[in-house]
C-alpha cells in the first residue's frame, strides 16, 4: 500500500509519519501531483495558519491536485479547515471540498480549544468501532460548522464538526496521531478503507 | 467536555532529565525518552520538555531528543529552552513537537510572539513565564529564573496574549520545588485577565494541590516534574482522584 503525505509549509509531517511508522507503514512525503495520484491513500496534515498555507498550496498547484484526488484522502486539523470553502482566519478562500465556513470560536471561553475533548454522533467508516465519548487531542482556534458532511461532533463553546466526510474525502479536526490509542485506531480505520 | 490536563515536565540538561530545587541543585532523574514513554502509558495528557540550560549556556535544544520522543509517544508535547527565532522553532516543530515554548527570548524581543503566531498559528506558541514576588508585585524573571526584569507578570501575560500567544506556562518561582501547592492566587488573577489557557507550574507535591490548582486556581492544566519522576504520585491515580472530585479528566 502506497501512502502519501502532502508536503507543504504547514504540515506536521513528522508526527504523522511517526504514527504511520507504528503500523509499519513508510509514507511518501511529496508535493508532486503525479505521485499523489499514484498512491492508495493520501494524508493532508496541518499545523499552522490558513492564509499562508493556502498561498503555498496555490503556488505549487496543489489546490487543484488535491481536489482531483480519487483515493481515500484524510485531512487533519488545519487540513480539515483548508478542505472547507472559506476560513475566517485571515479571510482565506480554501479548497471548497466541503461547502462549509470555518469560523473563529466566539470568545465566551478560552481560545484556542486546546486539550482532550470527547467526540459524539459518530458515523461512517472513519469512526467505526470508536467508543462514544472517546477523548481526542484538539488544538485549534477555528472550527467547521456542523453540516450534512459531519461524521463526528464535539462541543466547545459551540457544537462543531470533529470529523467530516464527502465521498473519498475524510477530515478530522483533532490530531489522531497525537491522541493516544483512540487516535491510533482512527488512523488504522483510515488505512483499512 | 474539555478535560483538565496533567502535564509532566521534563527538564533536560545534557540529554538527561533533571529537576532543580528552586532551579538550582540539579539532580538526575533519568533518560527523557524512557520517562516520556512511561508518562504516555500512564495517561499523561501532554508533556513539556524544557532545555533548562539552553538560555544560560546559549545552547540550542537537543533536536535528537525531540525526534526520539516523537517516534516513541503518541501524545502531544511542547518543547522550550533557548528558542529565540522562527528558525529554532521551525526545527523543533519539524522534529515532531506540537508547540514551542518561548521565555527569555520573548521578553527580549516581544515581536517574536507575533512572528511565531503568524508563521505557525497561535496554537503552537506557548509563552513561558518565570514569575517571582518582589515586594508586593509579581515580576517576570529570565535566564532560567535568575534575573529579574522590569516587567510585571500581570502586564506581560496580557501583552503575550495580545501578540498572539496560544497558551501561558506560568511558573511561580516562589512555589517551584517547595511541594507546598501551586500559586493559586496568581493563577486565578492571571486567568481573569486573559482568554487563553494557563498551565500552572511550580509547587505540586500532593493530590490536593492539583485539585486546588483547578478548583481554586482555575488553571487549565497543571504541570509538575519531580513528583512524577520519582513516582511519588502516579498520574493515573492522580487523574482518578481528580475525576472523583468532579474535575473533567481523560481516563482511557
Handedness of CA A39, A40, A43, A44 (dihedral sign): positive
Pick the closest to residue A183 from A23, A6, A9, A27 (CA basis).
A23
Q: State whether residue A79 sits within 8 Å of chain B by CB.
A: no
Average pLDDT across chain A, whole number: 94
Distance of residue B7 Cα from the nearest chain A Cα, in angstroms: 11
Domain ranges (residues) in chain A:
3-191
Q: Which residue of B has its CA nearest to A107?
A: B195
pLDDT of residue B21: 44
- Statement: residue B155 has pLDDT above 80: yes
Residue B14 pLDDT class (50, 70, 90 cuts): confident
Q: How far apart are CA B234 and CA B237, in angstroms?
A: 5
B47-67 pLDDT, tens digit each: 999 887 655 444 555 788 899
Q: What number is the average pLDDT over the span B5-24?
A: 74
Q: What number is the average pLDDT over the span B152-176?
A: 97
Active-site residue flag, A177: yes
Q: State whether residue B236 sits within 8 Å of chain A by CB.
A: no
Helices (H), B121-251: 153-163, 184-193, 207-215, 226-229, 235-244
Catalytic site residue from A39, A89, A113, A175: A175
pLDDT of residue A70: 96
First to last CA, chain B: 15
Q: What dotted CATH number matches A3-191?
A: 3.40.50.880
Residues of chain A contacting residue B96, judged by C-beta atoms under 8 Å apart: 12, 14-15, 18
CA of residue B39 relative to chain centroid, distance: 15
Catalytic site residue from A39, A77, A84, A94: A77
Residue A158 forms beta bridges with which residues? A156
- Of the partner residues B3, B74, B122, the one whose CB lies closest to the CB of residue A178: B74
Residues of chain B contacting residue A14, judged by C-beta atoms under 8 Å apart: 67, 70, 94-96
pLDDT of residue B23: 41
pLDDT of residue B30: 72
Verify whether the Cβ–Cβ distance A141 to B220 is below 8 Å.
no
Pairing verdict, β A158-166 and B16-21: unpaired
A52-87 pLDDT, tens digit each: 899 999 999 999 999 999 999 999 999 999 999 999
Active-site residue flag, A94: no
- Statement: residue B29 has pLDDT above 60: no
What 3-state class would DSSP assign to B170?
Answer: strand
Q: List, in order of start, the domains of chain B with CATH numbers.
A: 5-244 (3.20.20.70)
What 3-state class would DSSP assign to B222?
Answer: strand
Q: Which residue of B has its CA nearest to A131?
A: B252
Q: What is the CA radius of gyration of chain A?
A: 15
Verify whether the Cβ–Cβ distance B98 to A12 is below 8 Å.
yes
A122-181 pLDDT, tens digit each: 999 999 999 999 999 998 889 999 999 999 999 999 999 999 999 999 999 999 999 999
Q: How far apart are CA B103 and CA B110, in angstroms?
A: 10
First to last CA, chain A: 11
Average pLDDT across chain B, whole number: 90
What 3-state class would DSSP assign to A72?
Answer: coil
A90-133 pLDDT, tens digit each: 999 999 999 999 999 998 888 889 999 999 999 999 999 999 99
- Statement: residue B101 has pLDDT above 50: yes
Q: What is the DSSP-derived secondary structure letter of residue B195?
A: S
Residue A9 pLDDT class (50, 70, 90 cuts): confident
pLDDT of residue B31: 80
A10-50 pLDDT, tens digit each: 666 888 999 999 999 999 999 999 999 999 999 999 877 89
| Dihedral in degrees, nearest 10, Cα atoms B127, B130, B135, B136 | 40
Q: State whether residue A8 sits within 8 Å of chain B by CB.
A: no
B205-250 pLDDT, tens digit each: 999 999 999 999 999 999 999 898 888 899 999 999 999 999 999 9
Q: State whether residue B162 sits within 8 Å of chain A by CB.
A: no
- Statement: residue B87 has pLDDT above 80: yes
Verify whether the Cβ–Cβ distance A113 to B122 is below 8 Å.
no
Amino acid at each position: 500500500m502506497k501512502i502519501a503525505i502532502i508536503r507543504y509549509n504547514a504540515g506536521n509531517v513528522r508526527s504523522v509519519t511517526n504514527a504511520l511508522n507504528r503500523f509499519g507503514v513508510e509514507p511518501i512525503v511529496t508535493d508532486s501531483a503525479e505521485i499523489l495520484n499514484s498512491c492508495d491513500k493520501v494524508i493532508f496534515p496541518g499545523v499552522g495558519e490558513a492564509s499562508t498555507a493556502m498561498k503555498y498550496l496555490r503556488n505549487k498547484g496543489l489546490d487543484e491536485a488535491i481536489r482531483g484526488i480519487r483515493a481515500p484522502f484524510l485531512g487533519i486539523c488545519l487540513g480539515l479547515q483548508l478542505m472547507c470553502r472559506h476560513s475566517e482566519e485571515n479571510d482565506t478562500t480554501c479548497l471548497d471540498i466541503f461547502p462549509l465556513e470555518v469560523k473563529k470560536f466566539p470568545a465566551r471561553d478560552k481560545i484556542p480549544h486546546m486539550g482532550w475533548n470527547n467526540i459524539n454522533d459518530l458515523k461512517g467508516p472513519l469512526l467505526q468501532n470508536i467508543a462514544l465519548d472517546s477523548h481526542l487531542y484538539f488544538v485549534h482556534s477555528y472550527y467547521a460548522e456542523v453540516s450534512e458532511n459531519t461524521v463526528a461532533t464535539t462541543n466547545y463553546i459551540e457544537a462543531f464538526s470533529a470529523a467530516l466526510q464527502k465521498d473519498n474525502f475524510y477530515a478530522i479536526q483533532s490530531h489522531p496521531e497525537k491522541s493516544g490509542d483512540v487516535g491510533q485506531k482512527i488512523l488504522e480505520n483510515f488505512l483499512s478503507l | 467536555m474539555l478535560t483538565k490536563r496533567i502535564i509532566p515536565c521534563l527538564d533536560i540538561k545534557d540529554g538527561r532529565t533533571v529537576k532543580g530545587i528552586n532551579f538550582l541543585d540539579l539532580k538526575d532523574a533519568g533518560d527523557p525518552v524512557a520517562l516520556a514513554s512511561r508518562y504516555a502509558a500512564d495517561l499523561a495528557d501532554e508533556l513539556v520538555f524544557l532545555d533548562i540550560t539552553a538560555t544560560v549556556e546559549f545552547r540550542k535544544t537537543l533536536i535528537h531528543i525531540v525526534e526520539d520522543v516523537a517516534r516513541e509517544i503518541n501524545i502531544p508535547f511542547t518543547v522550550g529552552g533557548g528558542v529565540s527565532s522562527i528558525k529554532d522553532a521551525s526545527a523543533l516543530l519539524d522534529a515532531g513537537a506540537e508547540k514551542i515554548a518561548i521565555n527569555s527570548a520573548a521578553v527580549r524581543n516581544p515581536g517574536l510572539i507575533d512572528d511565531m503566531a503568524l508563521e505557525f498559528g497561535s496554537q503552537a506558541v506557548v509563552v513561558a513565564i518565570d514569575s517571582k514576588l518582589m515586594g508586593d508585585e509579581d515580576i517576570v524573571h529570565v535566564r532560567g529564573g535568575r534575573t529579574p526584569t522590569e516587567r510585571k507578570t500581570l502586564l506581560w501575560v496580557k501583552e503575550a496574549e495580545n501578540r498572539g500567544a496560544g497558551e501561558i506556562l506560568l511558573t511561580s518561582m516562589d512555589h517551584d520545588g517547595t511541594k507546598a501547592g501551586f500559586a493559586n492566587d496568581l493563577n486565578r488573577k492571571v486567568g481573569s485577565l486573559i482568554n487563553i489557557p494557563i498551565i500552572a507550574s511550580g509547587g505540586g507535591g500532593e493530590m490536593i494541590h492539583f485539585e486546588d490548582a483547578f478548583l481554586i486556581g482555575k488553571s487549565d492544566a497543571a504541570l509538575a516534574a519531580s513528583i512524577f519522576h520519582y513516582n511519588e504520585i502516579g498520574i493515573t491515580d492522580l487523574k482518578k482522584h481528580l475525576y472523583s472530585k468532579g474535575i473533567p479528566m481523560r481516563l482511557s
